[in-house]
């Protein structure tokens, strides 16, 4: 297995099966620290730099919380408008990263341009973690989700995963790439204008992955073991920021996972994940069903970022 020390985490396309399991092992080792709300001194000599060019609640704060749990230091920006990259100068990724690499030991970047974290990594002497790049990928979220599914279902091989929402989304791209390293069948449910790209489908089938396509949650939920849901009513991920307007649409019934459908059709141990934020595709009354695991998923988001930080900083081998 390749060492994680000093490595960028940019994509799940090149992640191998044993590397997923190494991350899960590191998660198991570090989870008790987060569970008991302790901060340790594992990374006391290290600093995380967050470079977030797009809004985030979970990814940035979970990554920062993870570094605090490991006893490290945190600096960075949550809004490029307060930096030279977001004002008159529109400072380039290259020049910005050449500064950030002197301010810390690992850079966590979210950007509205697909490929921006990879570009940053090409200039950086410290590891870069992709925290979501445009429509590209969201590797730390999907590592979190797979860790959650492994814990909740007891396995990843042999499962059927229903993926509901816009298949062009970065989370869906990362799920597809990851699925090829396990015996996972993907059951995709998406509106006609939000289908997967040809390149993505070809990559998955070339690697031996399996994809089925469905018109509605209703016709497929009973065949799957778990689901990952994303909104079909959502922001444009190629924009730095999009304010809410009054014209937001409602999610058609075909793409909603409801309490009624879960009660009537889902297997008894069915697991519902949603990386959040949600619109109306996952009504709040699902929260108190036995299927809801998205709060555990959120907690695991901290654990998984602890594991990734400890591994890329060489604190766990």
For the record, the structure tokens of 237 come out as 């991920």
In the complex with ligand CP, the residue whose CB is nearer, 58 or 173, is 58
Q: What are phi and psi of 48, to 5 degrees?
A: -95, 135
The yes or no reply on residue 58 touching ligand CP (CB under 6 A) is yes
**165 counts as binding ligand CP under rule CB under 6 A:** no
Q: Are strands 128-133 and 106-111 parallel, antiparallel or unpaired?
A: parallel
Q: Looking at beta carbons only, is 287 or 317 nearer to ligand CP?
A: 287
What is the smallest separation between the CB atom of 132 and ligand CP, expressed in angstroms? 6
Element holding 159 (H helix, E strand): strand 159-164
Interacting residues of 242 by C-beta distance below 8 A, sequence separation 6+: 235, 236
Strands lying side by side in the sheet with 210-214: 210-214, 184-189, 159-164, 226-229, 271-274
Per-residue interface string for the shown chain with ligand CP, residues 260-279, x marking contact by CB under 6 A: ---------------xx---
Interaction of residue 63 with ligand CP, rule CB under 6 A: no
Name the phi and psi angles at 287, rounded to 5: -60, -35
Give CA–CA dist 240/82, Å, rounded: 13
Q: Which is nearer to ligand CP, 179 or 275 (CB)?
A: 275
One character per residue 117-146, x = contact with ligand CP (rule: CB under 6 A):
---------------x--------x-----
Chain CA centroid to CA 6, Å: 21
Q: How far is the CB of 15 from ligand CP (least distance, A)?
A: 18
* Closer CB to ligand CP, 153 or 235, in the complex: 235
Q: Which stretch binds ligand CP (CB under 6 A): 57-65, 191-199, 215-223, 234-242?
A: 57-65
Point out which residues bind ligand CP (CB under 6 A): 56-59, 132, 141, 275-276
């Amino acid at each position: 297995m390749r060492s994680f020390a000093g490595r960028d985490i940019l994509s799940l396309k090149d992640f191998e099966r044993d590397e997923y399991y190494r991350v899960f092992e590191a998660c198991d080792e570090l989870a008790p620290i987060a569970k008991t709300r302790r901060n340790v001194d594992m990374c006391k000599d290290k600093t995380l730099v967050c470079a977030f060019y797009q809004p985030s609640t979970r990814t940035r704060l979970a990554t920062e919380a993870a570094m605090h749990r490991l006893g490290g230091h945190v600096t960075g920006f949550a809004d490029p408008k307060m930096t030279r990259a977001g004002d008159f100068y529109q400072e380039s990724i290259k020049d910005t990263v050449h500064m950030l690499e002197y301010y810390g030991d690992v850079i966590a970047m979210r950007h509205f341009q697909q490929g921006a974290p990879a570009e940053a990594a090409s200039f950086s002497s410290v590891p870069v973690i992709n925290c979501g790049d445009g429509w590209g990928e969201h590797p730390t979220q999907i590592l979190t989700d797979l860790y959650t599914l492994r814990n909740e279902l007891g396995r990843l091989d042999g499962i059927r995963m229903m993926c509901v929402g816009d298949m062009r989304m970065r989370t869906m791209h990362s799920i597809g790439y990851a699925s090829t390293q396990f015996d996972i069948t993907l059951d995709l449910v998406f509106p006609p204008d939000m289908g997967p790209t040809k390149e993505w489908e070809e990559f998955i089938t070339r690697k031996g992955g399996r994809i089925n396509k469905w018109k509605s949650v209703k016709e497929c939920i009973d065949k799957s073991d778990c689901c990952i849901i994303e909104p079909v009513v959502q922001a444009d991920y190629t924009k730095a920021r999009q304010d809410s307007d009054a014209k937001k649409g409602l999610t058609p019934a075909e793409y909603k996972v409801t309490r009624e459908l879960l009660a009537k059709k889902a297997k008894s141990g069915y697991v519902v994940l949603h990386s959040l934020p949600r619109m109306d595709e996952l009504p709040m009354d699902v929260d108190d069903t036995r299927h809801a695991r998205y709060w555990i998923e959120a907690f695991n988001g901290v654990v998984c970022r602890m594991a990734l930080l400890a591994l890329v900083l060489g604190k766990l081998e």
